């Protein structure tokens, strides 16, 4: 599908934050950034594709680790400046640390 | 509680994105931004307090609308650059449009 370019507001770096939630457990797995190009790639390919700010390159999630995220639902928020993807998380989890979710550290710990 | 200042990475505006998830339904409700000050206020007061980028002021969520978010769990991610709050959402919902979640628009619509 083609995105209405007016529907999404990118920041000054041309990026928009993308929250990823597991379809089965409903856990919030991670947040990463998408460019207009990687958002379109995500919708076209049916899996999450991000923009790596550290490497400054397209990052197909799980391409090397096998921990792909297959998109079930894709939303944008009321302001059009945040995305939400509900996914089937493949492999052990979303986090490069080996944890299921990137949010494994609590302020209460 | 006092936050270790090294545990959270703020962006060039001194802000960090904060995802809010409902404790009961597990729905992702919204994403907004916190400064170091409003993060500390959130943890101290037990409810979400954001930094309004449009108004450039502290924004106690629900202070005028009654739709407060009482914090049940508070996490930071592996990179320390995104926060996740699991909350009891008061009132009808989180979104200023009257919707329960800010993510009510789908790319599939």
Cβ contact A78–B108 (<8 Å)? no
- What pLDDT is stored for residue A76 in this prediction? 97
- What pLDDT is stored for residue B4 in this prediction? 75
Q: Confirm if B26 and A26 have CB atoms less than 8 A apart.
A: yes
Q: How far is A78 from chain B (nearest CA, A)?
A: 5
The string of pLDDT tens digits covering residues B54-100 is 999 999 999 988 999 999 999 999 999 999 999 999 999 999 999 99
- What pLDDT is stored for residue B98 in this prediction? 94
Tens of pLDDT, residue by residue, chain A (109 residues): 667 767 899 999 999 999 999 999 999 999 999 999 999 999 999 999 999 999 999 999 999 889 999 999 999 999 999 999 999 999 999 999 999 999 999 997 6
- What pLDDT is stored for residue B108 in this prediction? 77
Per DSSP, the three-state class of B38 is helix
- What pLDDT is stored for residue A6 in this prediction? 76
- What pLDDT is stored for residue B109 in this prediction? 66
Is residue B23 predicted with pLDDT exceeding 90? yes
Cβ contact A74–B108 (<8 Å)? yes
- What pLDDT is stored for residue A108 in this prediction? 77
Nearest residue in A to B29, CA atom: A77
**pTM of the complete model:** 0.96
Strand order in the sheet with B105-106: A28-35, A15-22, A83-89, A69-76, B105-106
Nearest residue in B to A106, CA atom: B75
Q: Which residues pair with B50 in a beta bridge?
A: B59
Per DSSP, the three-state class of B60 is strand
Q: Which residues pair with B57 in a beta bridge?
A: B52
Work out whether strand B15-22 and strand B83-89 pair parallel, antiparallel, or are unpaired.
Answer: parallel
> What is the C-alpha to C-alpha distance for residues B81 and B66, in angstroms, rounded to an integer?
29
- What pLDDT is stored for residue B5 in this prediction? 67
- What pLDDT is stored for residue B15 in this prediction? 97
User: Which is nearest to B44 in space by CA: B52, B53, B34?
Assistant: B34
DSSP state of B47: B
Cβ contact B107–A78 (<8 Å)? no
Alpha helices in chain A (DSSP H): 36-45
Interface of B with A (CB under 8 A): 1, 3, 17, 19, 21, 26-28, 30-31, 43, 73-79, 82, 84, 95-97, 99, 102-108
Q: Confirm if B76 and A109 have CB atoms less than 8 A apart.
A: no
Binning chain A into helix, strand and coil, the percentages to the nearest 5 are 10, 40, 50
- Name which residue leads in pLDDT, B47 or B3: B47
Split at pLDDT 50, 70, 90, the class of B6 is confident
- Name which residue leads in pLDDT, A27 or B109: A27
């Amino acid at each position: 599908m083609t995105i209405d370019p007016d529907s999404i507001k990118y920041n000054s770096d041309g990026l928009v934050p993308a929250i990823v939630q597991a379809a089965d457990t409903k856990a919030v797995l991670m947040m990463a950034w998408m460019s207009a190009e990687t958002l379109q790639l995500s919708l076209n390919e049916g899996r999450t594709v991000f923009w790596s700010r550290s490497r400054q390159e397209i990052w197909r999630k799980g391409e090397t680790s096998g921990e792909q995220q297959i998109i079930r639902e894709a939303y944008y928020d009321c302001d059009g400046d945040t995305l939400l993807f509900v996914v089937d998380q493949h492999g052990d989890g979303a986090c490069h640390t080996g944890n299921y979710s990137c949010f494994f550290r609590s302020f209460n710990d």
